[in-house]
Amino acid sequence: MHLVHATSVEIDGHAVLIRGPSGCGKSDLALRLMDQGAQLVADDQSGLSAENGRLFVSCPPSIAGMIEVRGLGILRLPHRDRVPLALVVDLVAAKDVERLPEPSRTAFLGIQVPRVALCAFESSTPAKVRLAVSVATRDSTVL
C-alpha cells in the first residue's frame, strides 16, 4: 500500500482523494461531502494500490473509520474500503483557483487520474467536487 497525506471519501462508488497541507481543510471538506451522502474512506492518510491499471483507495487499519473534526475531536464513523479512485482534489487558496482551468491529471503508481484545484472553504466546493466526479467518471467534457 502506497500511503499519501490525503483524506478520501466515496461518492457514488468512486473515491475522491483530497490533498493539501495540514490545516488547509481536507477533513472539513470531507465532512461537508459526507453531510451530503458521501462516505468516509480515510482521514489524513490514504493508501493507494494498483490493480489491472486502476487505482484503489483504502484506509490504514490503525485509523480505519476515524476522522478528526476540529472542535469535536476524533470521531469514529462508518467508512468504505478499497474504492476505485476517480478524482484528486488539490486544495489551494481561493486566489489560486483558476476560472477556466485546462484539464489536469496527476499520477500515482504510474496511473493517471483527473485532478482539480479548489478552495476548501468556498460554499460551492462540495458541489464542484460532485460535478468533477461526474465528469471524470462519465468521460464527459466541461464546456
Q: Catalogue the active-site residues.
A: 5, 26, 44, 99
The answer to pTM > 0.75 is yes
pLDDT tens track for 60-76: 999 999 999 999 999 99
Tens digits of per-residue pLDDT, 20-63?
Answer: 999 899 999 999 999 999 999 999 999 999 999 999 999 999 99
- Cβ 88 vs Cβ 106: under 8 Å: yes
Cα–Cα distances in Å, from 128 out to 9, 90, 93, 116, 134? 15, 13, 15, 10, 10
Name the superfamily (CATH) of residues 2-138: P-loop containing nucleotide triphosphate hydrolases (3.40.50.300)
What percent of the chain is modeled with pLDDT above 90?
94
